[in-house]
Amino acid sequence: MARVKVFSTAICPICDKTKSLLTRWRIPYEEARVDTDMSARREFTAVTNGARTVPQITIDGNWIGGFSELTELHMDDALDHLVE
C-alpha cells in the first residue's frame, strides 16, 4: 500500500501535474478518484475536513493539502523526510 494518496478527478490538470511530479520524484502513490468512487469521496471529505478542491494529498493518512503544499514541502526538503 502506498503511503501517499492523491485524491483527484479525471478532468483536473493540476491533479495530473501532481501525479507527474510524484512519479518524477520516484514517490509511489495511490490515486483515489472522487468523481467516480463514492467511498473515495467519503474518505476525501472525512480526511480533509470537507475540502472542495482537488488534488488533495495525504501521507500515512495525514492530510498535507494540495499541489502548492506538496511543492512547498519538496522545496523545503521536508517531503523526503515524510515519505522515507
- Provide DSSP, 13-76: HHHHHHHHHHHHTT--EEEEETTT-HHHHHHHHHHTTS--SS-EEEETTEEEESHHHHHHHHHT
- Write the pLDDT tens digit of every residue in 29-76: 999 999 999 999 999 999 999 899 999 999 999 999 999 999 999 999
Quickly state the pLDDT bin for 2 (edges 50, 70, 90).
low
- The dotted CATH code for 4-83 is 3.40.30.10
- The residues spanned by each domain of the chain are 4-83
Residue 11 has pLDDT above 70, yes or no: yes
| Whole-structure pTM value | 0.93
Q: What is the pLDDT of residue 84?
A: 75
Residue 17 has pLDDT above 60, yes or no: yes
